[in-house]
């Protein structure tokens, strides 16, 4: 089958789906091609913290109903070290901004429902997706559905297919420059049927390694432990995970970690990665296809949404007035913000984790950094304004 659309989108993650939704609102047609099934993408457990700007966008564009009902608004967070908690007043330090706990796969569900409800086309379980002719004005996406070959012709391709997708590798060598950092640790994450042990997130620095207390609902806790990059999950029975969390999150004044049944367990790798530029010809990369951040700042999803916001605006401008100016500026506009978010994610990661090969000086420096951030209003404000989300140019 051969078919045509204005924007061909590879990947039904937050980037691809949000782009399709924003384009639809601007009267621009798109088709989304996704390798996995609808059920798989709607159940894939990922992070779950939305910046103020992401929340505003979801609500303003009509996909915020469940988010408003089920999202947990947070006005602050806790940094815990030396057995004591220190609150960062996110709202007070940013003129009222907040962050919201709402799982990424719930955002994906809401966007899929909105697209399909508006007659949008998402091809799930599209096999052998490949992108062609994006050095010219009529790029094509080839794929198979139920064994049958199809070709989708379009004006533009959006590569929203994540870090392991096919769009970035399809770009000829020499066009892209990659910037990469791999960290010598990973996160072991669990979802547990337990009441959160605190109303707010707790980022804990401990000599045994970093730990994070987060949540998904008033009855589900999300917890993470710094672990080895090649950690074997088989060596972490639930009891050992809870004991380790208890040690690392320990605080005086009678704080207690609520335990419960572990319903999901996984390892998250940690890397920083950026590709420059984020566009070549009529192929535009967005989200994890173009950059990865370590999860410490909770920025992955938010960066993906920020990219497609810029891309949707540029495409809207083009279709309304044949003006390509914003399209040519897409990469530059995104990368300026991407690098600031990379810096923040790297900084949070560096401040809170134990590194192999570090010495006593490094530990003292980390503790001094934490002490500074929790006692200087200027330093706390720097953390807060990045955490709730930098403005989009």
Of 298, 303, 380, 383, the one binding ligand PHB (CB under 6 A) is: 298
Q: 64 or 159, CB closer to ligand APR?
A: 159
Question: 141: part of which helix (H) or strand (E)?
Answer: strand 140-145
Q: Which does 49 bind (CB under 5 to 8 A by kind): ligand PHB, ligand APR, none?
A: ligand PHB
Of 4, 29, 38, 46, the one binding ligand APR (CB under 6 A) is: 46
Of 7, 8, 9, 14, the one binding ligand APR (CB under 6 A) is: 14
User: What is the spatial distance between Cα 367 and Cα 348, in angstroms, rounded to a whole number?
Assistant: 13
- Would strands 49-50 and 72-74 be described as parallel, antiparallel, or unpaired? unpaired
User: What is the spatial distance between Cα 136 and Cα 280, in angstroms, rounded to a whole number?
Assistant: 10
Of 32, 49, 157, 315, the one binding ligand PHB (CB under 6 A) is: 49
Q: DSSP of 198-255, one letter per residue?
A: SSS-EEE--TT--EEEEEEETTEEEEEEEE-TT--GGG--HHHHHHHHHHHH--TTT-
Q: Which does 257 bind (CB under 5 to 8 A by kind): ligand PHB, ligand APR, none?
A: none
Interface positions, 177-236, toward ligand PHB (CB under 6 A): 201, 214, 222
Residue 240 contacts residue 232 (beta carbons within 8 Å)? no
CA 148 remoteness from chain centre: 33
Q: Which does 204 bind (CB under 5 to 8 A by kind): ligand APR, ligand PHB, none?
A: none
Position 47 contacts ligand PHB (CB under 6 A): yes
Check 102, 143, 318, 387 and give the catalytic one.
387
Collapsed DSSP state (helix, strand, coil) of residue 39 = helix
Q: Which does 35 bind (CB under 5 to 8 A by kind): ligand APR, ligand PHB, none?
A: ligand APR
Residue 238 contacts residue 302 (beta carbons within 8 Å)? no
User: What is the spatial distance between Cα 16 and Cα 47, in angstroms, rounded to a whole number?
Assistant: 17
Q: Which does 214 bind (CB under 5 to 8 A by kind): ligand APR, ligand PHB, none?
A: ligand PHB
User: What is the spatial distance between Cα 12 and Cα 315, in angstroms, rounded to a whole number?
Assistant: 19
Collapsed DSSP state (helix, strand, coil) of residue 192 = strand
Q: Which residues bind ligand PHB (CB under 6 A)?
A: 47-49, 201, 214, 222, 295-296, 298
Q: Which residues bind ligand APR (CB under 6 A)?
A: 10-16, 33-36, 41, 46-47, 104, 126, 129, 160-162, 165-166, 287-288, 300-301, 304
Catalytic annotation, residues: 74, 203, 295, 299, 387
């Amino acid at each position: 089958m051969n078919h045509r659309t204005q924007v061909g989108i590879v990947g039904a993650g937050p980037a691809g789906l949000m782009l399709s939704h924003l384009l639809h609102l601007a009267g621009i047609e798109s088709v989304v091609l996704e390798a996995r099934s609808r059920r798989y993408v709607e159940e894939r457990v990922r992070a779950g913290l939305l910046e103020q700007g992401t929340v505003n966008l979801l609500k303003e564009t009509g996909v915020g109903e469940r988010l408003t009902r089920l999202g947990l608004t947070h006005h602050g967070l806790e940094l815990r070290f030396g057995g004591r908690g220190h609150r960062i007043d996110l709202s007070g330090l940013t003129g009222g901004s907040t962050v919201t706990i709402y799982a990424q796969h719930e955002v994906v569900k809401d966007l899929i429902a909105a697209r399909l409800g508006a007659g949008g086309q998402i091809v799930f379980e599209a096999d052998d997706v490949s992108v062609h002719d994006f050095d010219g004005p009529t790029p094509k996406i080839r794929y198979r559905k139920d064994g049958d070959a199809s070709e989708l012709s379009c004006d533009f391709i959006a590569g929203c297919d994540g870090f392991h997708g096919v769009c970035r590798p399809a770009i000829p060598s020499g066009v892209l420059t990659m910037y990469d950092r791999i960290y010598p640790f990973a996160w072991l994450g669990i979802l547990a049927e337990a009441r959160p042990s605190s109303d707010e997130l707790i980022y804990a620095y401990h000599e045994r390694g970093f730990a994070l207390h987060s949540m998904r609902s008033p009855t589900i806790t999300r917890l993470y432990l710094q672990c080895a990059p090649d950690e074997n999950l088989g060596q972490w029975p639930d009891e050992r995970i809870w004991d380790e969390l208890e040690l690392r999150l320990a605080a005086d004044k009678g704080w207690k970690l609520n335990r419960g049944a572990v319903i999901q367990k996984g390892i998250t790798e940690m890397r920083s990665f950026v590709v420059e530029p984020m566009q070549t010809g009529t192929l535009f990369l967005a989200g994890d296809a173009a950059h990865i951040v370590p999860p410490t700042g909770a920025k992955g999803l938010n960066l993906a949404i920020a990219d497609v916001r810029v891309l949707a605006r540029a495409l809207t401008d083009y279709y309304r007035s044949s003006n390509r100016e914003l399209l040519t500026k897409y990469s530059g506009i995104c990368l300026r913000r991407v690098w600031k978010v990379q810096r923040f994610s790297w900084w949070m990661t560096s401040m809170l984790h134990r590194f192999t090969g570090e010495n006593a000086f490094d530990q003292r420096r980390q503790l001094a950094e934490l002490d500074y951030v929790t006692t200087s209003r200027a330093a706390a404000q720097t953390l807060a304004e990045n955490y709730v989300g930098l403005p989009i140019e």
